[in-house]
Amino acid sequence: GEDVEQSLFLSVREGDSSVINCTYTDSSSTYLYWYKQEPGAGLQLLTYIFSNMDMKQDQRLTVLLNKKDKHLSLRIADTQTGDSAIYFCAETSRGGGADGLTFGKGTHLIIQP
Amino acid sequence: NAGVTQTPKFRVLKTGQSMTLLCAQDMNHEYMYWYRQDPGMGLRLIHYSVGEGTTAKGEVPDGYNVSRLKKQNFLLGLESAAPSQTSVYFCASSYYVERKLFFGSGTQLSVL
């Protein structure tokens, strides 16, 4: 199966909270990341969490990590039209080697007016 | 501070043609990566480099070659392009410890 899994689409109303979920498989991952990709652009690091943390908050973003269930979530408070993008969950590659990150397929966040 | 710069941004090739994609970073990063992004497939690692003069294969290396002659540059070559290589290619770089990747804006490649 896939190393990192995410649902492909999420639709929310403007002003509501968005919660994007991710499951991963490598329990040895040191860091877990959320990247944002806007149309026609590269990926931009949104936030990351160290594996010994349960939660990290940064302005409108809250990351929750459940290591027991290997579940990571990203909550965006007061979702705005500018948050419309693809969000990728990523973990450090298996074995902690230098071969970058393993990405999920991305969740398309759709904002309804 | 330009970050990670990729050239060209768009390219159309005919089957069998060759080309080189250039990636340059000005952050003095040791690690550099080439990914391809395809609909429904996410990002897949093609090749990577842990320092000047070194390269290694990623998940999908077939049909591609790379070189890292200078620390700031990482080149991706297609010797004989195939339609299956139609994709968006992203270069990224990082420091070793945290492995936070910084991405370029991508190259849209179409092989006809």
Q: What is the pLDDT of residues B45-101, one digit of tens each?
A: 999 999 999 999 998 999 999 999 999 999 999 999 999 999 999 999 998 756 789
Choose the mutation target among B5, B37, B107 for the interface with A, i.e. most A CBs under 10 Å.
Answer: B37
Rounded to a whole number of angstroms, the distance from the CA of B103 to the nearest CA of chain A is: 6
| Per-residue pLDDT at B69 | 95
How far apart are alpha carbons A113 and A43 in whole angstroms?
25
Residue in chain B nearest A89 by alpha carbon: B42
**Positions in chain A short of pLDDT 70:** 1-2, 93-98
For residues B22 and B36, is the Cβ–Cβ distance under 8 A?
no
Rounded to a whole number of angstroms, the distance from the CA of A50 to the nearest CA of chain B is: 9
Answer whether A41 sits within 8 Å of B105, measured CB to CB: yes
| Per-residue pLDDT at A1 | 42
Rounded to a whole number of angstroms, the distance from the CA of A94 to the nearest CA of chain B is: 12
Q: Please tell me if residue B76 touches chain A, with a CB cutoff of 8 Å.
A: no
Chain B residues closer than 8 Å to A101 by CB: 99, 101
| Per-residue pLDDT at A73 | 97
Write the burial class of residue A106 (CB in 10 Å: 0-12 exposed, 13-18 middle, 19+ buried).
buried
Q: 3-state DSSP: chain B helix, strand, coil percent, rounded to 5?
A: 5, 50, 45
Q: Please tell me if residue B39 touches chain A, with a CB cutoff of 8 Å.
A: no
| Per-residue pLDDT at B1 | 62
